[in-house]
Every structure is written in structure tokens, then in C-alpha cells.
A and B are shown apart, each in its own frame.
Chain A
Amino acid sequence: MTEQVPQTLRIDDEASLPAVRRAVDEAGRSLGFGLVDQTKLMTAASELARNIVLYAWDGKVTIEHSAGAGRRGLRLTFEDGGPGISDLERAMQDGYSTGKGMGLGLPGAKRLAHEFFIDSKPGIGTRVVFVLWRR
């Protein structure tokens, strides 16, 4: 399999999700992540990509390697130009959903991450960075 990193994939409907999961799967494998970390990566990617589909309708993910302090990892950056999140503090709490979800995607992805950043501006969009280091 050819290693295509960095790679940017468009996320504009539910049909984009399998491709995102597959690309993250391949990128993680090529870095040598173990099975549990690989599952965490794909689960977080699935949460964050579905949020774009549900709440922002159109966006993208960039999959790239991350290196620093003698470690290697994978960085996933999700960006959209959707409505943004007005109360980010609440959105990061378990159980907060403006849809019919369980409100677990954002706080859960943060728990799965080694590094997690979120930045959102109402009317402009949302950017989420998820990093997992190889142990």
C-alpha cells in the first residue's frame, strides 16, 4: 500500500466517512500503531468527521505525521466553514448535544487523544486537531 501522507480528504456527507476511516487506518498502520491505538484513532476520526457532516455539512480532514521530542505520531486536522460552536465549554462536556446524539463525540475524542485542540468561531467555522503519539 502506498503511504499517502499528508493527505486531505473532503467531508461533505455520510458517504465520506468510510473513506476517512480507511485513510486514517492506513496512515496509522504505516506508523506502526498497535491495535488499541489504531482503534482509538479511527473512532475519534469517525466522531469528528461525523460532526462535520451533521453540523457543518462541508469540511475536510488533513492527515499528517507529527514528530517531536523523539516521538512520532499522527495528526488529524478537521476544518469546516460551518456555523461554529457558540458555547465551546458546554460542547466539550459529556452529554451536551444540539442534535439527537449522546454528546460524546467531542469530549470522547479529547479523552482518546494525546493532544487535542479545538477552536471555533460562530459564523466562521470550527477547527479540531487530534494527535496520537506512537507509544
Chain B
Amino acid sequence: MADVHIISINGVLVVTLPAVTDDGTAERLVEQVGARLVELAARAVLIDVSNARIIDSFLGRVLGSLAGAVRLLGAEPVVVGMRPEVAITMVELGMDLGGVATALSIEHGLAGLRVRAGRRM
């Protein structure tokens, strides 16, 4: 796995999901996001899955553990950019993301965070 692409927008991290193939790369993903989160004291992490053509049970589990780690570090995880065909397939597969917030796009995700924080960024 190449280094995870992470940018920071006003205290919010935006993580672009890399090609995660096995447990090893999944662990490195969580480590790298965790390190940046702590370094920047981010209050939320948008996980951009718009690159993912499929989300199978393995990738779903990776997303779930990433979101869980983000929460444990005191930030809010939001999955953004899921393709409609991926969402439809996930439902049929029987998978949910265990209550992780989702948003249509990075923009919508940021707007939602602003509303929840009850202040302007």
C-alpha cells in the first residue's frame, strides 16, 4: 500500500481510501490515520470512499475498524462519497457500517460537521 493520502481542512482530516488488500495494509492505514489525527488534534475524519468500486465484507470491516479507532481518539468519523451502486450492493450483502455517519461528498460531510458543531468554520 502506498502512503495514505491525508489532507487537513480546518481541523478535519480527509483520508482517501487506498487500495487495501489484506490485514497488514489495513493495520498500516489505521496507524497512519491515527498518527496524523493525534499530530493535528483533528476533531473529525472524513473517509473518502469515492474511489472504491466495490466494498466487500473485508473492506467494510476495515472501514469499521478505522472509524472505531477514530472514535477512540476522540474524533468523529464520517464516511463520504460512497457510490450509489456500492451502497445498493452493501445493503444486499447485509453489511452496515455500524452507525458511522455518512455523507454524499466531502463538501456535504464538512457542511454536516459545521451544523453539528453549531458554529461556522
A50–B61 CB distance below 8 A: no
Interface size on B, residues (CB 8 A): 20
B54–A94 CB distance below 8 A: no
> Least Cβ distance of A50 to chain B in Å?
6
Instruction: Please count the residue pairs between chain A and chain B whose beta carbons lie under 8 angstroms apart in the complex.
Output: 63
A91 touches B (CB below 8 Å): no
What residue of chain A has the Cβ atom nearest to residue B86's Cβ?
Answer: A39
Contacts of B94 in A (CB 8 A): 94, 104, 107-108, 111
- A68-124 interface with B by 8 A CB criterion: 94, 101-102, 104-105, 107-109, 111-112
Contacts of A94 in B (CB 8 A): 94
What residue of chain A has the Cβ atom nearest to residue B56's Cβ?
Answer: A46
B57–A102 CB distance below 8 A: yes
B57–A40 CB distance below 8 A: no
**9 tightest Cβ-Cβ pairs between the two chains A and B:** A108-B93, A39-B85, A46-B56, A104-B57, A14-B22, A43-B54, A36-B85, A39-B89, A35-B85
